[in-house]
Structure 1
Amino acid sequence: MALVSDVQLACSRLAAHGWHSLLLQHGLDITAADLQQELIKPLSVDRTLKGFEDFSPEGERGIEAGKPAESLLYHAFASPNVLSAVDGSQLTAFPSALEIEQILNFVYGINPPSVETLSAYAGSAPLAIVVFAYEYRPRPETVHKTQADLCFSRTGVARTGTAPALYDAARRGFLPFVETDAQQMRAIPARYGAYIAMQKKGDSASFGPMSFQSPTDENLSFWVPIHKLFEGKECLLGLDLTVHLENYQINEKIRQVHMLYKGTGWQEPDILNDPFVITEGLCHWANSTDVGAGLLVPNAKERLVELAYYQGQPLSFTMPAGTGGLVHGRHRLRDDGSIEDLNNVEGVDAIVKAGGYRTLHYQDAMADGWVLARCPALESYGMDRDSVAAYSIIGAPDFFPLCGQRELKAWSSDPAVFPCPTPPCPEVWHTRVNPLSDVRFPINPTLKGNYFADDDLGATAIVSLARVEPVGEPVLNAPEIALAQRQSCLPDFASGVFGPGWEVGRGLVDKPFANVLNGYMLASPFTEDARICAALGSYWPGVAPDSTRTFEPRKVASSVIPLTDAEIGLTDAPSWDGLKGPVLAEFEGRQVVQYQAYEYSDYTSAALNQQLSLAVTGHTTTQQYHQRVLAMHRAYQALGATEKAEKSQWSVLSFLIVQQPDEQLEDAEQEAGHRLEGEVMYMFLYKHGSISTPADDFKRRYVDIDARVQMYVSQSALLVKEDDSLWHLHDESI
């Protein structure tokens, strides 16, 4: 079937659902008898219509050959902000993932170029078949931030889950929620495609990369897509293409344990086998007739963490000493074959640190690898042999799927919105905030096939199509454009801070601190790393749960982005980690704060019991996440706690988003003589005293209260009540 026939079918399906009248506002009739001619005629684009404000200023046709961002029909179909009909009501149907890919193919196939034409366009730049992860994004999330645009990276980030992926047509993407089960989370796919691409030195005015790093990027080589490859005779002039995407994924985290530590009881050749090394059952290609070619989907697992088996038996090993909490070892195997849960043994941290006992291995479904394209028809041009792979990551679940690392870094580094003397606010976070897209490290060159070179440092960068004319400055006073409310598969939504990391790690077996990205340096299983990250105030990745308020005060951490009472299990909603946060209690005749001790928390066991959840945290928007960080920062400032040691003296007992009208807020406003505008957050902080362990429960901690401070925080003002004093407006200018 010709490409235009696919486009015609999509337009016919959607026309009656508000799309015909919507696109007629721009002069485009998607029911025209000669649709191809209709799509190439000049239009009068109305950029005041909702969803079209960030359509390319150069765009004036339904389809502009080879230019997706200048093709009005592609923008309308692919933009997650095109949601409204002409009358402002929501459209009643949306393009499928398959239809969006068909339109994209038509953009490149309506006037197919020859290979010679593409070579001439590239000039002296090397050409190759290159695989990219890609997605169409609203203006604020693009490389140049001047219009909605396609964004590409040679790194894609899919995410593991316990339920099959589900496409949300209105959002033009995927989300992890399972509405009927708060403890389930859907796998998140990554979209890959093969392109003829040219290799160029970084050029911020042309293709980027995003968040251009000068002078580093000016001296690095990046692959820049020119023309999308797809099957059939309409892709390249005079050629009939077949395009095959190959994928390889590997999870070798259990093998890594036995490579790093001696005396575990396992060595080669055993550790070369499954589950020490897992290469099967991790992911699959979605049916191209349903969603288009190139959608790599992690296989849904019954649990995020599962007991590992070897030769038909549960896999046990001798726990090594000093793993730093990155290897689960809390299920001790007794001589009689029974399992002892060390979480029920006093002093479990010391037992795990010392090691020397038999314990069980657990595996997760995270992995890394590559996606490679084969196109035999291009062999005679030398491009098939030199095909360039994309780095493919299957990462851990993202408990804040709507929030990106890039946005957090940009926001926190802007002194106009976040008052920090040195970005990115080292006095706020325990370490730097960085997205994976800003990292300039090579990919593990020892991956099967040896497709990644030591000097290939730009694989995680995000680029756009090259622009002939220099990109101008973002338009001043341009209408505000909503961010896409979906999970991104590009690396600016992944962490570029490693310790060992969240989605991917850094280092090699024989060079522990080498700057090489890989999957095997991560914790085994990932829940061990998540426990440490969260308890240190989202220490390594910026956008991650902050569980510091769930556990007793510890000098190593203070809250950075406080979780709400609901998110830590103090309401009827399921907590994100299966635990319950602190509550007030009576102990020896005084009021104290009661905690479950951090030492006895176990996120691996929580995953085994299907207690991890993103049902509550997952709906937090980027703006809300930023507001929480800023609210916590302002709270510390109001307390006079500006140094890390001072912050660690204060703990958050309660944090919530006030649902107005609220009688307690109204009483506080009346007492303070000031009304708060907009969204209001409530905080109850206390300065902690001594910490006690009751004789009848070594898992519990009682913390004395030396001072109490309540706060209501809005964007512009802060009401404070200290102990039994009156509510008052805090002067934040001091």
Structure 2
Amino acid sequence: MTLISDVQLACSRLAQHGWHSLLLQHGLDITALDLQQELSKPLHIDRTIKGFEDYSHSGVRGIEAGKPAESLLYHAFASPNVITTAQGTQLTAFPSALEIEQLLNFVYGVNPPSLETLRVYAGTAPLAIVVFAYEYRPRPETVHQCQADLCFSRTGVARVGTAPVLYDAARRGFLPFVDTATQQMRVTPARYGAYLAMQKKGARECFGPMNFQTPSDADLDFWVPIHKLFNGKECLLGLDLTVHLDNYQINEKIRQVHTRFNNTGWQEPDILNYPFVITEGLCHWAEPTDFGMGLLVPDDKERLVELAYYQERPLSFTMPSGTGGLVHGRHRVHDDGSIEDLNNVEGVDAIVKQGGYRALHYQDAMADGWVHARCPQLESCGLDKDSVAAYSIIGAPDFFPLCGQRELKVWSSDPDIFPCPTPPCPEVWHTRVNPLSDVRFPINPTLVGSHFADEDRTATAIVSLPFDASMAVTAQAVPEVGLAQRQSYLPDFASGVFGPGWEVGRGLIDKPFTNVLNGYMLASPFTEDARICAALGSYWPGVAPDSTRTFEPRSIASTVIPLTDTEIGLTGETSWDGLTGPVLVDYDGRQVVQYQSYEYSDYTGAALAGQLSSAITGQVGTQQYHQRVLAMRRAYHAVGAGTDKALRTLWPVLSFSLVQSADEGLQAAQQQAGHFLEGEVMYFFLYKHGAIITPSDNFKRRYVEIEARVQLYVSQTALLIKQDETLWRLLDESF
């Protein structure tokens, strides 16, 4: 079937669902008998129609050969903001992932260039087959932020899960939610494709990269896509192409435990085998007939974490000392084969830190590797360089899938929001926000296949197609458009400061002082790192929840992005981590706050029990995330702890919720304060803590004394405060 035939079928299917009348507003008739001719004619674009505000100002046709962003039909199909008719009602059907891919191929194949034409276009720049992860995005999420456009990276980030992948056609993407089972989460895939690309020094005004780093990016080499490759005779003039995508993934985290620590009881050749090294059962290519070519999907597992078996027996090892909490060692194996849960033993942290006992190994399905393209017809044409692979990550779940690290970095670097000397403000987070797309480290060159060179430091960058910078002038008039409400698989949605990181780690290879990105430096299993990072106030912003208020006050962390009472299990619903937050109780004749001690929390155990969930936290969008962070900071200022990190740890959050305007408590507070709050309102109950007591009858519990209580209602413009037994009043926030 020809490319135009595929496009005709898609248009015919969608026409009756509101798409015919919607596109007629621009003068495009997708039911025309000669659709190819219709798609090539000049149009009168109406950019006031919702979803088309950020369509390219250079675009005037349904299809512009070789230019996806200037092709009106492709924008309509691929933009997650095109969801309503011209009259504002919901479209009743949306393009499938396959139809969007077929249309993209048509954009490049409607007038296929010759290889020589592309050589001339590239000039003196080297030309090669390069694999990219790619995604069509609304204007605010693009490299140049001038219009909706495709974004490309030589790194893709898929994510593990316990349920099969599901495409959300309206969002033009994927989310981890399982509507009928909140304790499950779907795997999310990454899309890869082969492109002819040229190698250029970084150029901010042409292709980027995103968040251009001065002056270093101007001296680095970036691969820039110029033409998509796909099967058949319509891709390149005079050639009948066959494009193959190969994938290799490896999880060797358990092996690394035994290479980094001595006397664990295991060594080569055993640690070269499964499950010390896992290369099978990690992912698969989705059916091209369903999703188009190049969708890499993690294999869904029954549990996010599973007991490891070796030689048909549970795999145990001698727990090394000083693992930094990044190796699970809480299930002790006795000589008679019985298993003891050390979470039920007093002083478990000290036992795990000392090591020296037999423990069970647990495995996860995270991995890293590569996607590599082969095209025999082009390999014989004498391209300048061998085919260039993409770095493929299968990462941990993202508990805030609608929030990206790059956007949070830009937001927290805004001096109008956070006036601080060195952005992004270190006062906002416990670590600096830095997306993986801003990292300039090589990829682990020891991966099978030797696809990554030591000097290649740009694989995680995000670039655009070559772009006319003069469009930036007219783009200033583009109105605000919404962010995509889906899980992105590009690396600006992944964390980029490592110690280890959330999706990928950083480690030294044999060559001194050479840091490389890899998967083997991560916690084993990932839930060990998740526990630490969540309890450090969402140490990896935008992916890790903030569990500080779930546990007793600790001097090393305060709340940054507060979770609501519902999200931590205080309102009867299941919490994100299976635990329940603090409550007020009577103890020894006085009221105290009761906690489950952090020391006895175990997220690996929670994963084994199927208790980790992104169903609630995953509903938090970017704007809500911002508002929570700002409200938390204002709350700390209200109690006099705004600029002192140590002082903030003295004021735990006992209760936090989003308040409806009809709430009786809010109405009473407003009446008493003589001030009515507008817009979204958040409620905080903070207290200044005193002594922390471990009761004699339960070493897992902590009772925390209350020295002062403060309740707050916070809107975007005002704050009402009640201190101990005083009356509610409006707080002057002119600090």
Secondary structure, aligned partner of 2:108: helix
The alignment partner of 1:381 has SS state of coil
Instruction: Work out the CA distance in 1 between the residues paired with 2:436 and 2:699.
Output: 41
2:369 corresponds in structure 1 to: 369
Partner of 2:165: 165
Q: In the alignment, which residue of structure 1 is the partner of 2:114?
A: 114
For 1:414, the equivalent position in structure 2 comes to 414
Name the counterpart of 1:250: 250
Do 2:57 and 2:474's aligned partners in 1 also have CA atoms closer than 8 Å?
A: no
- Aligned to 1:650, the other structure's residue is in SS state coil
**8 Å contact from structure 2 (residues 200, 223) kept in 1:** yes
Tell me the CA shift for residue 499 of structure 1.
Answer: 1.3
Distance 1:669 1:237 in 2: 71
Task: Report the counterpart of residue 142 of structure 2 in structure 1.
Answer: 142
Q: For 1:474 and 1:550, locate their aligned partners in 2 and report how far apart those are by CA, in whole Å.
A: 49
Shift of 1:87: 1.9
Q: Give distance in 2, aligned partners of 1:440 and 1:640.
A: 40
Q: For residues 461 and 191 of structure 1, do their structure 2 counterparts lie closer, same or farther at Cα, with a shift above 3 Å needed?
A: same
Please, which moves more after superposition, 465-474 or 196-205?
465-474
1:129 correspondence with 2:129 = yes
Matches within 5 A, 1:586-625: 586-625=586-625
Indicate whether 1:90 and 2:85 are aligned: no
Instruction: Give the whole-Å Cα distance in 1 for the aligned partners of 2:731 and 2:382.
Output: 69
Could you tell me which residue of structure 1 aligns to residue 387 of structure 2? 387
Counterparts of 1:374 and 1:248 in 2: how far apart (Å)? 14
**Corresponding residue for residue 483 of structure 2:** 483
Deviation at 1:382, TM superposition (A): 2.6
Change (3 A) 1:214 1:556: same
Pairing 1:545-560 to 2, within 5 Å after superposition: 545-560=545-560
Aligned to 1:706: 707
2: CA distance between counterparts of 1:342 and 1:98? 50
Question: What does residue 455 of structure 1 align with?
Answer: 455
- 1:593 aligned counterpart, secondary structure: strand
Letter of the 1:654 partner, please give it. Answer: S
- Equivalent in the alignment of 1:190: 190
CA contact 1:501–1:541 (8 Å) conserved in 2: no
Asked if 1:265 is matched to 2:261, the reply is no
Taking the aligned partners of 1:250 and 1:19, their CA distance within structure 2 comes to 44
Q: Deviations over 1:272-308 (max 9, x none)?
A: 0110000000000000011100000000000000000
How far apart are residue 648 of structure 1 and its match? 0.9
The answer (yes or no) to whether the contact 1:505–1:521 under 8 Å persists in 2 is yes
Cross-structure match for 2:630: 630
* Partner AA of 1:334 in structure 2: H
Contact 1:309/1:315 (CA < 8 Å) preserved in 2? yes
Does the aligned pair in 2 maintain the 1:408–1:543 contact within 8 Å? no
Q: State the secondary structure of the residue aligned to 2:472.
A: coil
Counterpart in the other structure of 1:274? 274
Tell me if the contact between 2:404 and 2:542 (Cα under 8 Å) persists in the aligned partners: no
Separation of aligned partners in 1, 2:144 and 2:710 = 44
Deviations 1:619-660 (Å, cap 9, x if unpaired)? 000010011111111111122111111111110000111122
Aligned residue number for residue 651 of structure 1: 652
Residue 668 (str. 1) matches residue 661 (str. 2): no
Contact 2:57 2:475 in 1 (8 A): no
Q: Return closer, same or farther for 1:239/1:477 CA change in 2, 3 Å cut-off.
A: closer
Q: Kindly provide the CA deviation profile for residues 467-525 of structure 1, in whole angstroms up to 9, marking residues without a partner as x.
A: 24545257445322010000000000000011101000000365797421000000000
Check whether the contact 1:433–1:542 (CA below 8 A) recurs between aligned residues: no
Matches within 5 A, 1:394-543: 394-473=394-473, 475-476=475-476, 478-508=478-508, 514-543=514-543
- The 3 A distance-change label for structure 1 pair 587 and 469 is closer
**Distance in 1 of aligned mates of 2:541 and 2:84:** 36
Report what 2:724 is aligned to.
723
Residue-by-residue CA offset, 1:85-111 (whole Å, 9 max, x unaligned): 122110000000000000000000000
Report 1:218-237 matches (<5 A).
Answer: 218-237=218-237
Q: Percent identity?
A: 79
Offset from partner CA, 1:240-259 (integer Å, 9 cap, x none): 00000000000000000000
Aligned to 2:6: 6
Find the residue that maps to 1:726 and give its secondary structure. Answer: coil
Instruction: Check whether the contact 1:508–1:514 (CA below 8 A) recurs between aligned residues.
Output: yes
Checking the alignment, whether the CA contact within 8 Å between 1:45 and 1:60 is kept in structure 2 is: yes
Amino acid at match of 1:258: H
| Residue in 2 that maps onto 1:378 | 378
1:98–1:630: structure 2 CA closer, same or farther, 3 Å change rule?
same
Task: Supply the AA of the counterpart residue of 1:708.
Answer: R
C-alpha distance in structure 1 between counterparts of 2:684 and 2:515, whole Å: 41
Whether the aligned pair in 1 keeps the contact of 2:189 and 2:297 (CA below 8 Å) is: yes
Length, aligned pairs only: 734
Which residue number corresponds to residue 583 of structure 1?
Answer: 583
Change (3 A) 1:119 1:511: closer
Closer/same/farther in 2, CA of residues 530 and 262 from structure 1, 3 Å limit: same
Tell me the secondary structure at the aligned position of residue 524 of structure 2: coil
- Change in Cα spacing, 1:258 to 1:511, as seen in structure 2 (3 Å) is farther
Give the secondary-structure state (helix, strand or coil) at the position aligned to 1:645: helix
1:576, 1:612 within 8 Å by CA — same for their partners in 2?
Answer: yes
Amino acid across the alignment from 2:711: Q
Write the distance in 2 (CA, Å) between the matches of 1:270 and 1:221: 41
**TM-score, length-normalised on structure 1?**
0.99
Q: Which residue of 2 aligns with 1:288?
A: 288
Question: What SS does structure 1 have at the residue aligned with 2:652?
Answer: strand
The answer on whether the counterparts of 2:162 and 2:185 sit within 8 Å (CA) in structure 1 is: yes
Q: Which amino acid aligns with 2:705?
A: D
Q: Could you tell me how far 1:662 is from its partner in structure 2?
A: 1.1
1:512 to 1:620, Cα distance in 2 relative to 1, 3 A: farther
What SS is found at the alignment partner of 1:506? strand
RMSD: 1.2
| Shift in alpha-carbon separation, 1:86–1:428, aligned structure 2, 3 A | closer
For residues 257 and 378 of structure 1, what CA distance do their matches in structure 2 show?
Answer: 43
Cα deviation for residue 731 of structure 1 reads 1.1
CA distance in 1, matches of 2:236, 2:403: 38
**Residue 355 of structure 1 corresponds to which residue in structure 2?**
355
The equivalent of 2:690 in structure 1 is: 689
Counterparts of 1:648 and 1:422 in 2: how far apart (Å)? 23
Distance (Å, rounded) in 2 between the aligned partners of 1:645 and 1:87? 54
Shift of 1:674: 1.2
Runs ≥4 residues deviating over 6 A:
none
Aligned equivalents of 1:514, 1:539: Cα separation in 2: 25
Q: Counterpart in 2 of 1:312?
A: 312
Match of 1:604, SS state, is: helix
Partner amino acid, structure 2, of 1:48 = T
1-side partners of 2:280 and 2:412: how far apart?
Answer: 41
Give the AA of the match of 2:50. K
Distance 2:523 2:623 in 1: 30
Q: 1:446 & 1:56 partners in 2: Cα distance? A: 42
> 1:374 and 1:709 mapped to 2: Cα distance?
64
2:497 and 2:33 mapped to 1: Cα distance? 54
Q: In 1, are the aligned partners of 2:304 and 2:607 still within 8 Å (CA)?
A: yes
Cα 1:478/1:470, change in 2 over 3 Å: closer
Cα 1:55–1:402 shift into 2, 3 Å: same
Q: Give the Cα–Cα distance (whole angstroms) in 2 for the partners of residues 112 and 590 of structure 1.
A: 79
Query: CA–CA distance in 2 between the matches of 1:623 and 1:303?
Result: 32
Q: How does 1:292-303 map to 2 (within 5 A)?
A: 292-303=292-303
Matches within 5 A, 1:76-87: 76-87=76-87
TM-aligned CA deviation for residue 597 of structure 1:
0.2
Deviation at 1:422, TM superposition (A): 3.2
CA distance in 1, matches of 2:284, 2:413: 39
State the secondary structure of the residue aligned to 2:224. strand
Determine the structure 1 residue equivalent to 2:341: 341
Deviations 1:411-433 (A, max 9, x none): 01011233434321111211111
Q: Distance in 2 between matches of 1:263 and 1:582?
A: 41
Instruction: Provide the C-alpha distance between the structure 2 equivalents of 1:455 and 1:25, rounded to a whole number of angstroms.
Output: 51
Query: Structure 1: where are the runs of 5+ without partners?
Result: none
CA distance, structure 1, for counterparts of residue 511 and residue 445 of structure 2: 13
State the distance in 1 between where 2:604 and 2:381 align. 51
In the TM superposition, what is the alpha-carbon distance from 1:690 to its structure 2 partner? 0.1
What runs of 5+ residues in structure 2 fail to find an aligned partner? none
CA 261–510 in structure 1, closer or farther in 2 if over 3 Å, else same: farther
How far apart, in 1, do the equivalents of 2:688 and 2:10 lie?
61
